[in-house]
Amino acid sequence: MGNLAGIILNGQLILLIIVASICFVVTFVVFFMLYNKLYMPVPQSLSSQEERLHAFVQSHELSSREIEVLSLIREGASNGEISAKLFISENTVKFHVHNI
């Protein structure tokens, strides 16, 4: 497209610059849209995450303690932090994590 415009607009420098600028902008927009479509993660709504968690809990028949451990894991708590919050040993936390 650029070569064709160069041949047609030979001797008309301003028009050639305008056509080149338009080609650049179109190329930039196309690649920007393609980048957003391919590489940007799609944010998931909180409700769908909660629905997936509920479905996981139901399908795996987790105990109430395992659900508590899972919710603390989702908050980013370590095994030691979970054991302190739930007043259980760290080995018990590891057992629940293994079951989950």
Is pLDDT at 80 greater than 80 in this prediction?
yes
Say what the pLDDT of residue 47 is. 63
Closest residue by Cα to residue 1 from 38, 9, 39: 9
Question: What are the tens digits of pLDDT across the range 50-69?
Answer: 788 788 888 888 888 888 88
Mean pLDDT (the chain, rounded): 83
- Tell me the whole-structure pTM to 2 decimals: 0.49
Plot region of 12 (φ>0 → left; ψ -120 to 50 → alpha; else → beta): beta
In the three-class reduction of DSSP (H, G, I as helix; E, B as strand; rest coil), residue 23 is classed as helix
Say what the pLDDT of residue 61 is. 84
